[in-house]
Amino acid sequence: MIQNQSYIRLLVQKALRYVMNGTIGRNFVNGQWLMATIKVYDFYVTTHQKVTLQKTASGVKDQKKRSTSKSAQVKKAKEHRAKMKDIAGITDNYGKSRIYHIYHGMIQRCFNKNDYHYADYGNRGIYVCDEWLGKDGFFYFYKWAMNNGYNDSLSIDRIDNNAGYSPNNCRWTIQKVQANNRRNSKRYPFNGKEMTVMEIGKINNVNPERLRYRLNKGMSVGDAILDLSQKGSHPLL
């Protein structure tokens, strides 16, 4: 519209030069063309200004309406969050807490395909229950955790490693129990039972990683334990 306005202004200026140079003179047709051009210019400018003012006023009104609506939504969201925090018993700054990072990690490895652990979780169909998802998911997860023995020394563990994260399939355990419960924890026959490296190491008071190293090289459990007992507790042997 600015380009059209400039073009009409140029036409009027050109017409005025014709009048001043005597090119148009008293010729009615040319005079009529001049007057028509001026009228068109005046009409265009007036209309353009009117439309611009209307659009500006409308824009300000819409912006104010959107701002008011957004403020109301933010206020409502804050009130809802405060209510949920009160129900769950959560303190302020929970986003920096250990349990929140546990929750966030659980969500990421189940739903984020770019997460390092997604292949062992989301890609296997491991899910997070609906109750622990959505905008209120963490609050319900937190409440469950506090009612089921959570403390900062424990980790979340799924009882059935082929099922997802839910109140009925999760518990809080020490890392050792969780390691024994992993689906890839290999078990070895020892004392008439099937045991993990962690369990065998604890019974025989040997380092489980050093025991695992020997088992992976093909040693039997008995030979690995004997070898470790003969070489003592040196960390590199």
How confident is residue 34, by pLDDT bands cut at 50, 70 and 90?
low
Q: What is the pLDDT of residues 101-143, one digit of tens each?
A: 999 999 999 999 999 888 889 998 999 999 999 888 998 999 9
Q: What is the pLDDT of residue 12?
A: 62
How confident is residue 17, by pLDDT bands cut at 50, 70 and 90?
low
Q: What is the pLDDT of residue 176?
A: 54
Q: What is the dihedral of CA 106, 108, 113, 116, to 10 degrees?
A: -80
Helix H or strand E segment including 96: none
pLDDT score of 193 more than 60: yes
Q: What is the pLDDT of residues 53-99, one digit of tens each?
A: 566 666 666 676 676 777 778 787 777 777 777 776 777 777 788 99
DSSP string, 153-206: T-EEEESSTTS-B-TTTEEEE-HHHHHHHSTT--EEEETTEEEEHHHHHHHHT-
How confident is residue 235, by pLDDT bands cut at 50, 70 and 90?
very low
- Quick one: DSSP state of residue 128? B
> Residue 156 pairs with which residues in a beta bridge?
172
Number of other CB atoms surrounding residue 128 within 10 Å: 20
Cβ contacts of 233 within 8 Å, gap of 6 or more: 207
- pLDDT, the chain, mean: 76
Cα 119 versus chain centre, distance: 19
Residue that wins the pLDDT comparison between 78 and 152: 152
How confident is residue 159, by pLDDT bands cut at 50, 70 and 90?
confident
pLDDT score of 165 more than 80: yes
Q: What is the dihedral of CA 144, 150, 152, 153, to 10 degrees?
A: -140
Question: Kind of pairing, strands 155-158 and 170-173?
Answer: antiparallel
> Residue 195 pairs with which residues in a beta bridge?
188
The answer to whether 156 touches 106, Cβ cutoff 8 Å, is yes
How confident is residue 156, by pLDDT bands cut at 50, 70 and 90?
very high
Q: What is the pLDDT of residue 179?
A: 59
CA separation for the pair 100, 115 (Å, rounded): 17
Residue 49, CA distances (Å) to 11, 52, 58, 61 in order: 20, 5, 14, 18
pLDDT score of 8 more than 50: yes
pLDDT score of 25 more than 50: no
Q: What is the pLDDT of residue 236?
A: 39
Q: What is the pLDDT of residues 203-231, one digit of tens each?
A: 888 888 788 888 878 888 889 888 888 86
Q: Hunting for tokens 């369990």 — which residue is that?
A: 199
